[in-house]
Amino acid sequence: MNPLLKQFVEETREFLEDAASGLLALEKDPTDRDAMDRVFRAMHSTKGGSGLFDFDPMTDLMHQAENLLDEVRQGERPLQGALVDQLLDVLDQVNRWIDAIERDEVLPPDAAAASQALVDKLRHAAGDTVDTAADADAAPVAEPVAPDTPTPAPPVEDAGWQPEWLAAIPDAQRREAVMAAWQDGAELALFEFQPESGAFFTGGDPLLLVRNVERLVWLAIEPATPWDEPESMDAYDCRLRFRGLASSGADAVAAEFAFEDEETLRCERVPADALVFAGGEPGDATMLEEFLASAPELHAAGDHTALRRSAEAMATLVSPDIREGSALAWLVVALDADRQDHVAALLRELGVAVTTPSAQEPEPEPEPEPDPDYTEAAPASVAAVGPVGDAAPLAGESRADVSAIDPQAVRAVMQEQLAMLGAVDTDDAAAAGHVAAAGRVLKRALVALGEADDAVDTALENAAKGDLEPLRAVVQGGAQGVPATSAAPAVETAGGERSTKSFRVDAESIDFLGDLVGELVVAKNSFPFLAERAEHEYGVRDLARELKERFNVISRIAQDMQGAVMQVQMLPMAQIFQRFPRLVRDLSRRLDKQIELVQEGEQTEADKTVIEVLGEPLTHMVRNSIDHGIESPEARQAAGKPAQGTIRLAARQEGEHVIVEVEDDGGGLDPAALRRKAVDKELISQAEAERLTDQESLQLIFTPGFSTRDAVSDLSGRGVGMDVVRSTVNRYGGSVSVASEQGRGTRLRLAMPLTMAVSYVMGVEVAGQLFGVPMESVVETVRLPESAVRKVKQEEAVVLRDEVIPLRRLDKLLMLDGAQSDRRARVDATYDEPQVTVLVVRQPEGPVGLVVDDFQEGLDVIVKPMEGVLASIRAYSGTALLGDGRVLLVLNLRELL
């Protein structure tokens, strides 16, 4: 797979997880800004990535989801469960596509249809009819569109930056900027630049930086702190502060100050609407009377041409320095741009009683307020359509008449991509990907506009090398600066989270490294054999001793290496825990249960393999708790419990083990019912059942073929029972136990070894073969005379320190012919009578003695699970390679006994 696509797949998976967890957090607490930002960023990045590979259905879908989410973010739409459901469906769908992409490198053939179906559902959820949003695919801003008011204004999104010194900008400059914004679609940016006091020593010229800002509309140079007396002044102590307004866009302005940080520079987009207010003090308004008399009528009639003529004429009579003059000048500007909201507000400012306007005004009027600060009164829904140069009435011109591809919107997309590019750190390993991704989007956008030519390709090549200028020139070629709608989150995505301290490594390479270290450990184990041969076969004692010394050195290094590789392979439990909020949410909704999931110790680390192994069993256990454990809200309330049940998922480290508990406060297990069921299913006899204690009865749930539910639900009862959980966990050296109190809840406890990389095993010899027994289960090793073995019916046992220990003959258990063992003969030869060599091992039912032929030394081995056809042989937990090249089979005692 091409590395770019591979990266896209990996990244997108992470984004999707991020988005899903964020959504769940949001559902719990809709005011969680952090979660909202996370979801937004993740969705945005996914969309951006998909745009690169022509995965159009995916781009469209993410786009729609993002829009919907944006409305939620703006507070225009509540985040309900149904909406979250739908957004999660979207994420699921994208996840499936990503799987398909990883497999086939293309989207499945039904992707477009699936995308369309989900998009329609989303739109339905959004309350939009499909018609009004028909061209939303081409426009990045699909806010509810007022169909009759095409306006040339940029989409109103956030409030931008509105510092109090906005008022210090003179009327004329504000008007100049607003006209640039409304008529040419320019993006306005405010900046405040205060170089640090030592700035002059670094050789830069702050004034030159400011001077280079393009399309500067206004600039104020002031001392940040009062000047000292000329006599005591330090010429090189920089005290200057620059404040300015430019119509070249925040990104372009910020680009001039490339080496300044947020300490010294603040530069942000400012909505044009924030600049529309009349300045100056109220003055003599008597001259306005004539205007005031005619204006209401003209306005109500929608005769804007006459209104404008009247206002313009009046403006020449009234000084622009007083508030009324300023308002008149603004009125002309607003009329030119056909900004009815501002027209109405300015008229009110002048004292014109604005009546309910003509059909021109689909929006409800802003609240009549004498307050001149009506900048916020701009309606939130403004369409992103092309500039309308003509102020003639546009009533009746429907949105459908606007061309399907909206150049302005496309340019906004391009600007956004440029902003992303600008934020990419070229040293970043992922930079090439970002540049290429943004580049492709840009190119497609230009093709859509019919502006693609060779210059684009050249510019893209330059961009890949870090020179963005040619690309910027191409993008800005048509429209003079266009609002970069949501550049901020993109910048964060591209620049904020990438840390150069860590980097992505393919899990396979780590596995390979682990294997190599394992082989090294095994290889080093051959030194003692070599030393022994040197001493005994060749009789060179000195060489043997030296070999052993060298062995110790290599052994130490190998151990350190092993530790380091293990550390790399450690993963936090959060890796598996993160799937549960979703699982609990979905299942509880489906079962109409109210369940809260509490997670603890997500940061507990364990070996990658352990984490991977734990996933399945834990999922099953949690499903069990939801399905069988927690009761319905009614049943809970009847039992005097809160309607909402709680499932606690806790992980912690205990010595060399990682413990995971799944605890619920549900109905608990009924030991009597368990016994009955076991008898019914003929798993145990009636007599056996009667002998079982309540605690022992609970263990029945781990018996193969046991299920407490009569009906097999689609959740947990799918033939994979707790027996599979137990055997899976056992196979990897872990254990699972259950505790339950009827009516109070159930707790399942899972213990897994922290790491599986290296195990210490005890070597035993049976019938001439070597086997390993995990050292943690070994209690003691004893040799007893044969006569000490007592026969109890068919069973054998020995009495050891007043305790009866049942004996098992390992050769029989493994079906080996151990009758004639040289080893045993050799052992026996040193004693007066035949001996039994017993390895006492710990088992849940108590100690068991294993009769073997002889003991070997303890060995550090790397146990590899049985693979392929051997995987079904349960008697062994795995194999290990010995220093002399022999294969050691490690016994799985629990399965064996």
Partner 1 sequence: MPIDYRKTVARLEGTCTVEEAEELLQWLQANPQGKVNLKECGHLHAAVLQVLMAVRPPLSAEPSDPFLARWVTPAITGT
Residues that bind partner 1 (CB under 8 A): 195, 199-200, 203, 205-208, 211, 216, 219-223, 227-228, 230-231, 233, 235-236, 238-240
Query: Minimal distance in Å, beta carbon 171 to partner 1?
Result: 16
Nearer of residues 202 and 355 to partner 1, judged by Cβ: 202
- Amino acid sitting at position 866: M
Say if strands 835-841 and 759-766 run parallel, antiparallel, or are unpaired: unpaired
Contact 856, 764 (CB under 8 A): yes
Using alpha carbons, select from 788, 793, 890 the residue that is nearest to residue 849.
788
Query: Minimal distance in Å, beta carbon 243 to partner 1?
Result: 11
Query: Minimal distance in Å, beta carbon 187 to partner 1?
Result: 21
The rounded distance, in Å, linking the Cα atoms of 494 and 488 is 10
Contact 629, 661 (CB under 8 A): no
Nearer of residues 219 and 488 to partner 1, judged by Cβ: 219
Query: Minimal distance in Å, beta carbon 236 to partner 1?
Result: 6
First to last CA, the chain: 48
Query: Minimal distance in Å, beta carbon 361 to partner 1?
Result: 39
Query: Minimal distance in Å, beta carbon 213 to partner 1?
Result: 10
Nearer of residues 206 and 279 to partner 1, judged by Cβ: 206
Query: Minimal distance in Å, beta carbon 177 to partner 1?
Result: 15
The rounded distance, in Å, linking the Cα atoms of 614 and 611 is 5
Nearer of residues 235 and 711 to partner 1, judged by Cβ: 235
Nearer of residues 225 and 509 to partner 1, judged by Cβ: 225
Query: Minimal distance in Å, beta carbon 226 to partner 1?
Result: 9
CA distances from 253 to 168, 174, 248, 479 (A): 20, 17, 7, 17
Instruction: Dig out the tokens for 54 from the structure.
Output: 């022509």
Contact 7, 24 (CB under 8 A): no
Nearer of residues 252 and 807 to partner 1, judged by Cβ: 252
Query: Minimal distance in Å, beta carbon 244 to partner 1?
Result: 9
List Cβ<8 Å contacts ≥24 apart for 383-387.
383/145, 383/146, 383/149, 383/150, 383/151, 383/155, 384/139, 384/140, 384/141, 384/154, 384/155, 384/408, 384/409, 384/412, 385/150, 385/151, 385/152, 386/150, 386/152, 387/152, 387/183, 387/184, 387/185
Instruction: Dig out the tokens for 449 from the structure.
Output: 């506009």
The rounded distance, in Å, linking the Cα atoms of 652 and 666 is 23
Burial class (CB in 10 A: 0-12, 13-18, 19+), 764: buried
Nearer of residues 190 and 534 to partner 1, judged by Cβ: 190
Question: Read out DSSP for 612-651?
Answer: HHHHHHHHHHHHHIIIIISPPHHHHHHTTS-SSEEEEEEE
Nearer of residues 110 and 214 to partner 1, judged by Cβ: 214
Burial class (CB in 10 A: 0-12, 13-18, 19+), 554: middle
Query: Minimal distance in Å, beta carbon 257 to partner 1?
Result: 13
Nearer of residues 233 and 825 to partner 1, judged by Cβ: 233
The residues near 732 (Cβ < 8 Å, ≥ 6 apart) are: 609, 610, 613, 752, 753, 756, 865, 877
The rounded distance, in Å, linking the Cα atoms of 777 and 775 is 5
The rounded distance, in Å, linking the Cα atoms of 702 and 738 is 9
Query: Minimal distance in Å, beta carbon 199 to partner 1?
Result: 8
Query: Minimal distance in Å, beta carbon 281 to partner 1?
Result: 19
Phi (first) and psi of residue 566, to 5 degrees: -60, -40
Nearer of residues 200 and 529 to partner 1, judged by Cβ: 200
Residue matched to tokens 């990682």: 658
Nearer of residues 225 and 502 to partner 1, judged by Cβ: 225
Nearer of residues 194 and 821 to partner 1, judged by Cβ: 194
Instruction: Dig out the tokens for 536 from the structure.
Output: 């005994």
Query: Minimal distance in Å, beta carbon 263 to partner 1?
Result: 17
Nearer of residues 210 and 805 to partner 1, judged by Cβ: 210
CA angle 12, 412, 392 (to 5 degrees): 145
Query: Minimal distance in Å, beta carbon 224 to partner 1?
Result: 11
Residue matched to tokens 């307004």: 245
The three-class DSSP label of residue 826 is helix
CA 768 to chain centre: 55
Upper half-sphere CA count for residue 216 (Cβ side, 13 Å) = 15
Query: Minimal distance in Å, beta carbon 217 to partner 1?
Result: 11
Contact 423, 466 (CB under 8 A): no
Nearer of residues 320 and 753 to partner 1, judged by Cβ: 320
The rounded distance, in Å, linking the Cα atoms of 311 and 391 is 14
Instruction: Dig out the tokens for 648 from the structure.
Output: 């606690």
Contact 838, 781 (CB under 8 A): yes
Using alpha carbons, select from 193, 200, 6, 159 the residue that is nearest to residue 75.
159
Angle at which helix 454-464 crosses helix 431-449, to 10 degrees, equals 160
Instruction: Work out the number of other CB atoms within 10 angstroms of the CB of residue 785.
Output: 12
Nearer of residues 179 and 220 to partner 1, judged by Cβ: 220
Sequence length of the chain is 897
- Amino acid sitting at position 9: V
Nearer of residues 219 and 402 to partner 1, judged by Cβ: 219
Nearer of residues 82 and 208 to partner 1, judged by Cβ: 208
